[in-house]
Amino acid sequence: MSRIARTVRLALTAGTAAVLAIGLTSNAQAATGNIRYISSSGQAFQIDNPPDGACLNLRARARILSNNTDHSLAYYYNANCANFTGVLPPGGAVSYQNPLSVRVI
């Protein structure tokens, strides 16, 4: 193989690797604000700037759940986002639904 062909192939390989690396390391989006919830024992919890699309298990069942983010929030009765219960718009709150997990949508 000629020296020029090897150089071209090496440049193409390096360029392809760079494009893949840049394309695969995009930043995960996050909602701005926080999710606040209060357990049945009265303990308050807060999740700041939660990531979009990720299922978040709460530390306790939420007697009161507030969505203080700029995205809608799906909430689920069970852990691991099982048993969909409802959606809270930005600024919304719900009580006595007892969710155990949430997802920013």
Q: Domains for the chain: give ranges and CATH numbers.
A: 33-104 (2.60.20.10)
Cα-based distances in Å from 10 to 1, 13, 91: 13, 5, 53
pLDDT tens for each residue of the chain, 105 residues long: 566 656 545 554 554 444 444 444 344 588 999 999 999 999 999 999 999 999 999 999 999 999 999 999 999 999 999 999 999 999 999 999 999 999 999
In sequence order, what are the beta bridge partners of 37? 45, 65
In terms of pTM, does the model score above 0.75?
no
Question: Which distant-in-sequence residues (6+ apart) come within 8 Å of 72 by Cβ?
Answer: 87, 88, 89, 90, 104, 105
